Amino acid sequence: MRPLAKWGALVAIVSIAPLAFVAAIYLHKPPNRLNEAISAIGFHPITPPMLLRAPGSIYHVSANGQDYDMLCEVSPDRLVGVTRSSASTTQVTSELRRAQYALDSKIVHSIQSRTDAQLAESLRLELDDVQVLEISLEELAIIADELFQRESCDREVRRYLENGEYVCQGQRVLKASTRYVAAYDNTAAGSVEHTTDLIRNHFDPTVSVQGGQSVSGANLYFGMRLAPRCLAFRDAKRQPRPPLSLWNRLVNHFPSLEFL
């Protein structure tokens, strides 16, 4: 079977819900300031953050752009030398640090000790050691060609494309560690350890003390950005855009809109 990864185009039939229905779905989603901040800088939030979202891998993307399922995974060794730190890292770090994220208020209110409850209420979650890693579109195409040499990958991608599904490749990732910060001076002897124990018992069992701070989730992927165009059969007339917005979904369904 011949590999698929010559970046052709695909006329995908996408089901577009009425505007009012789509708006209702988004309005009823619970707010998440961290995810909102990640979305605002152009990344798809990975919830929960994880290690299995390196760039270069190929994903099935749901029609609404909200869910990703990995179809073909790139070996970490293959990414050495082709993954680079983006020039936008400083700007992304600045944008993310403008917002601090409160912990779950329901859990805070359930804490029996008033002192611990006040401490928990003052805690904020920050992203630290932020990195933006990316692969050039040329390298992505080369990696895709290599992945399609694997019969299992080629077969799975074909199956989804034949069904008119979105199959896209990750290009950028947002990598960071989480840090818990108290809203008041937390430098007194023993206070960091006490804060860490409180977080571990009520919020995050993986938290630990590192460098005098309460830290968790080191070097996890918090967000991903797909390549500008999804994969397609070679003989297709056009490539679909990733369905990350209502406009992109409309353009995929009505190609003439692309020139407006």
The CA-atom distances, in angstroms, between 103 and each of 51, 73, 126, 191, 215 are: 22, 33, 11, 18, 14
Quick check: 121 pLDDT over 90?
no
What type of residue sits at position 2?
A: R
Quick check: 29 pLDDT over 70?
no
Per-residue pLDDT, averaged over 205-227, amounts to 82
Q: Are the beta carbons of 198 and 120 closer than 8 angstroms?
A: yes
Quick check: 127 pLDDT over 70?
yes
Please classify residue 142 by burial: count the beta carbons closer than 10 Å to its beta carbon, then call 0-12 exposed, 13-18 middle and 19+ buried.
middle
**pLDDT tens string 52-62:** 777 899 999 99
Per-residue pLDDT, averaged over 237-252, amounts to 88
pLDDT at res. 41: 85
HEC sequence for 58-74: EEEECCCCCCEEEEECC
Q: Are the beta carbons of 189 and 177 closer than 8 angstroms?
A: no
**Of the ranges 27-31, 120-124, 195-199, 202-206, which one carries the lowest mean pLDDT score?**
27-31
pTM for this structure?
A: 0.71
* Alpha-carbon gap, residue 213 to 195, rounded angstroms: 9
pLDDT at res. 110: 81
